[in-house]
Structure 1
Amino acid sequence: KISQLETESQGPVIGFSARVPICFFEDTATLLNNFEQIISNKGNQFNPATGEFTAPLDGLYATSLSVKPRAIGILDFSIVKLPSTSSCCNPSLCEEFTVDKIFISEDDRNMSVFVTVDLKVGEKLSVIYKSRDVVTYVPCNIVFTCFRI
């Protein structure tokens, strides 16, 4: 009976995992929206064209971001939580919504962050990157993942 109650209370499986294989960094703050490889998208709540995950249900969501660049430079990645009424059309103004950050210097080869986020219906999660260097086109591996728990 306990396993039956656990199954009933969990609700539907919701979550995604997406990967960016090649990055184009420039001296700006930009919403990361070129997730070309969707590993999974249960519930179809992740939009790879915008890079936004929209929560269909209230609850806790396990979120991770892993970055493995092959570049020389300084990169700054943020996971941002946006209200249901807005999108982050100007990422430099989204600092107040930052959930967690990854800062990569020239000596770092990979970085990861894991955070649990309390989302309400319609709230969104996205990744913003900032580069403090000149335009760079580099192979890299960025994986953004979020699942309702």
Structure 2
Amino acid sequence: MIRHACKDDCLQLAALSIKVWFDTYAVEGIKREYAQYALATFTESYFSSLLDSPDYNLLVVEKEKALQGYALLNMNSHYQSTNNGFELEKLYIDTVFKGQGLGKQLLKAVEHEFGKAYWLYTWVENESNGFYLHLGFRKIGQLNFEFAGTQIENNVYQSTPI
């Protein structure tokens, strides 16, 4: 079932985020700076503040009261112009449930409720690049940022209707 997140979900969202973040980015093991970032960022209060903000929307996919993934939307984040729509800031699916269509279901729910114009970025080494290209997303740029003294390259994608 896909639904809007609520305050009761915040602890589970924090734990799910930490799990997915480490599965995705800690490919060489858990480095100190990774642990510091994930544990400081993905907290119950972080998700509570997102739910309180009018700029964010958060959809979760749940089965039998267990969260399996979520989509976090930043409605006021734009890449280059407002024509690219809002930002899909995170699409996190628990690794255990990857390949079951949950990401695609969340994207359909996002488009149905919030519109088909949105953008996202993902690490160039992330397997999700293939997922987005398979769904017809167009690469429209590159976004780099510094993390722990290293420049991280990201591909920027524009949605196309699913």
Check whether TM > 0.5: no
Please identify which structure carries the higher strand content. 1
TM-score, L = length of structure 1:
0.27
